[in-house]
Amino acid sequence: MGLFVAGLNHRTAPVAVREQLAVEEDKLRELIRDVHATGAAREAVLISTCNRVEVYAVADAPGEARAAVFRRLCQHRGLDHGLVESHVYTHVDEEAVRHAFRVASSLDSMMVGEPQILGQVKDAFALAQACETVGPTLHTLFSQAFAVAKKVRTETDIARHAVSVSFAAVELAKKIFSGLTGRAVLLVGAGKMSELAAKHLVDQGAFPVYVVNRTWARAQELARALSGTAVPFAELDVALGSVDIVVTSTGAPEPVIRRELVQRVMHGRRGRPLFFIDIAVPRDVDEAVGTLNDVYCYDIDDLKQVVDANLRERAREAQRAELLVEREVAKFSERLRDVEVIPTIVSLRERLESIRAAELRRALARVPDAPAEIREAMEALSSGIVNKIMHAPITKLRESGRAGMGRSWTTLVQELFGLGRTP
Amino acid sequence: MHASLINIAVTGYVLATGLALAYLVQRQDLVHRLAVLATLAGWAVHSVAIIARALELGAPPLGNLPDAISVTVWVIVLVEVLIERRTGVRVLGAFVLPIVVVLSLKATTPRAVTLAPALASAWIWIHIALALIGFAAFVFNFAGALMYVLQERQLKAKRPGTFYYRLPALDTLDRLTFRTLALGFPFLTTGLILGALWARTAWGSVLTFDPLASLSFIAWAIYAATLAGRAVAGLHGRRAAYFAVFGFSVLVLTLGAGFFLPGRHGS
């Protein structure tokens, strides 16, 4: 079918090469128009992100088209074509379909399941559409790739679990408290990391936010940044009594929050759970605090452990996603082969139908007094003949498409019936 | 007719249990949908079976333990599907359906068609119905408690595993456990009082020894203590969950006593 993808990504090329080849949007337009104008490729879509530069194209001579694209890309940056060539992979036909589906579904990404790539592919496709370099094949391919990506996202947990420490903390909080709306947060210490974790919690609806810090000015500053309230250090125990989530990140050499303190605080809480997120090293929360009832205490290593478990979960889900993609590729390859022969089938039908209609009109004009039955019989006769004649070539076209021989057969049929020329 | 329908229904429940457990391990939408489908199919056949049984008896099919269990299972399955729908806790089936299967094995045992002569008063039907609704609520109480214990253990151990990913949040589970207790307790209480009053009229004494009746009073006492603890002593979370598990174990013993020990509830 002449479909191919050629490019390089974070696995095949070092950043030194990728950054050289990455193309900004304006230049992308120019390049894609150039490539299309040379006639080397009938259809083309160019994707350029920091992790990949790829061209998807349909061409009669894929090898030449591929070389033309990369010559043009290198020329634009004054790069040695031979140097780049060693990093370039090429996939054709079904392999190209698989690649497109995997890229859009984020299975080919550096961080599997990351959400940005789909948007980037969509942008690249829209740009190519605006440049009018998208034809029926790439249109079908990319529409389907977007559908597959959506399916992967909804039917697997590939992008479900947090892969950063601060998001892992938010997820944990959601396993203790069903929702974070209205859950009060206390920040002890004013580190950058705790600020980030607090921001994530607030984004999920946590409110209000209190800040305790040895330096009063810094506490006020951070409280302002998070639209919270600064609390004097001396009132730490009061604050502990009223909040649900505590994020600690002081520079103190000794634990700031000891078991006795938390035990006393828990008495007044009547069973409301308390969740400590201790990002400080050395730790701010005494290890023994975690043994208390209704107290959950995660230090930085615990959070990393959760992230690792999440990554393993993602990897498992990625395997399921690969199977899903595989099924979609098989389905799609069939369709794509049909796409190749369908325009010819349609024009064949139209051609024969127009001949039939014209001849019938002429015949009926010669017998203006013919009764209705005769007219109907003539109509039926002409349709019958045309359909019988069309049947064999159409079947053959469909078969050839499925067998991957669509192009030569469509050319043949077009020649035989004089299609593609205005009658 | 009735027996073969029950067998078909139980087959549906067994299938649904397998699928629900598979869904717990491998979160796949399709598996969950199939589990719900199998549950509903089993339930539909079960409904027909209960109607057939009622027509055959000419009375509510509650007059002996297997029939009553069958109706209870029917209620539990219906409530399970509804709770899953309403709360989105889609793993509930994996915890409730195994109990359903064990119970329904008892619902398929052959039984006498004739009614015990003692079952003459309308009160007895109310006694049975209330006790069974209470029991159904405590099945969910138990499932919620079990999920709570599992989830809490994972969170304390700080090693996320299957349960961490699949089970809902602790406070959701604690709420489920509390609500089912608050719902089931009045039914159980009223059911037991009616049973005692009826025993006095029928046999002349509240305290006639019957294994099922005695054990159910113990279960009632455990649930009463839990409810009181929750209301005034701040009992909650893991300890409340342990109470729920304990209470349910006694309830299961109660039913077992009804089946295997000689007594007035008979099988």
Least reliable range by pLDDT among A96-100, A187-191, A350-354: A187-191
| A108, two tokens | 């080919």
Domain boundary among A249, A283, A302: A302
Beta bridge partners of A187: A211, A247
**Which of residues A105, A132, A158 is at a domain's end?**
A158
**Same domain assignment for residues A61 and A80:** yes
**A18 and A152 inside one domain:** yes
pLDDT average, residue stretch A170-186: 92
Chain A contact present for B86, CB below 8 A: no
Contact B155 A294 (CB under 8 A): no
From CA A188, how far away is CA A232, in angstroms rounded?
A: 11
Same domain, A84 and A188: no
For residue B164, list chain A residues with Cβ-Cβ distance below 8 A: 175, 309
Query: Is there a single domain that holds both residue A77 and residue A137?
Result: yes
Active site residues of A: 50
* Domain CATH code at residue A297: 3.40.50.720
Judge whether residue A221 has pLDDT over 60: yes
Please check whether residue A278 lies inside any domain of the structure. yes
Report the alpha-carbon distance of residue A262 to residue A282 in Å, rounded. 19
Measured between CA atoms, how close is A13 to chain B, in angstroms?
A: 36
Strands (E), chain B: none
Is A143 found in the same domain as A13? Answer: yes
Contacts of B151 in chain A (CB under 8 A): 175
Long-range Cβ contact pairs of A205-208 (< 8 A, separation 24 or more): A205/A179, A205/A180, A205/A181, A206/A173, A206/A180, A206/A181, A206/A182, A206/A245, A207/A181, A207/A182, A207/A183, A208/A184
Q: What is the pLDDT of residues A231-262, one digit of tens each?
A: 999 999 999 999 999 999 988 899 999 999 99
Q: Tell me, yes or no, whether A283 and A363 share the same domain.
A: no
Are A86 and A47 in the same domain?
yes
In a domain, A126, yes or no: yes
The answer, for A174 touching chain B at a CB cutoff of 8 Å, is yes
Work out the pLDDT band at A149, boundaries 50, 70, 90. very high
Closest-CA residue of chain A to B31:
A155
Question: Does an H or E element contain A187, and which?
Answer: strand A185-188
Say yes or no: A181 and A243 in one domain: yes
Report yes or no on A283 lying in a domain: yes
pLDDT (0 to 100) of residue B207:
61
Looking at the DSSP assignment, which residues form a beta bridge with residue A310? none
Question: Which of A3, A31, A5, A10 lies closest to A117, judged by CA?
Answer: A10
pTM of the complete model? 0.78
Tell whether A145 and A172 lie within a shared domain: no
Between residues A31 and B114, the one the model is more confident about: A31
pLDDT in tens, A259-293: 999 999 998 888 889 999 999 889 999 999 999 99
Q: Given CB atoms, is B169 within the 8 Å cutoff of chain A? A: yes
> Is A323 inside a domain boundary?
no
Query: Do the domain assignments include residue A245?
Result: yes
Q: What tokens does A329 get?
A: 């590729």
> Which residues, other chains included, contact B254 with Cβ-Cβ below 8 Å and sequence gap of 6+?
B212, B215, B216, B218, B219
Q: Would you call B187 helix, strand, or coil by DSSP? A: helix
With a cut of 0.90, is the ipTM above it?
no
- Mark yes or no for CB contact A175/B164 under 8 Å: yes
Which pLDDT does position B194 carry in this prediction? 86
Q: Does A224 lie in the same domain as A268?
A: yes
Shortest Cα–Cα distance, A316 to chain B (Å): 10
Average pLDDT score over chain A:
89
Q: What is the dihedral of CA B140, B94, A310, A156, to 10 degrees?
A: -120
A176 CB neighbours in chain B (<8 A) are: 155, 169-171
pLDDT confidence of residue B111: 57
Stretches where chain B sits below pLDDT 70 are: 1, 107-121, 202-209, 259-267
In a domain, A310, yes or no: no
3-state SS class at A43: strand
For residues A101 and A11, the answer to whether their CB atoms sit within 8 Å is no
**Which of A329, A316, A327 lies closest to A160 in space, CA to CA?**
A316
A192 contacts chain B (CB < 8 A): no
Nearest CA in chain A to B26: A317
Establish if A345 belongs to a structural domain.
Answer: yes
Same domain for A11 and A153, yes or no, is yes
Q: Which domain holds residue A408?
A: 338-417
Q: State the best of B149, B158, B172 to mutate against chain A, taking most chain A CBs within 10 Å.
A: B158
Q: Where are the domains of chain B?
A: 1-105, 121-267
The mean pLDDT of A29-44, rounded to a whole number, is: 87
Interface contact B98, partner A, CB < 8 A: no
Distance CA A300, CA A280 (A): 7
The last residue of a domain, from among A158, A189, A215: A158
Q: Is A147 within the bounds of a domain?
A: yes
User: Same structural domain for residues A235 and A141?
Assistant: no
Please state the domain count of chain A: 3
pLDDT top residue among A423 and B229 = B229
Q: What is the mean pLDDT of residues A392-412?
A: 85
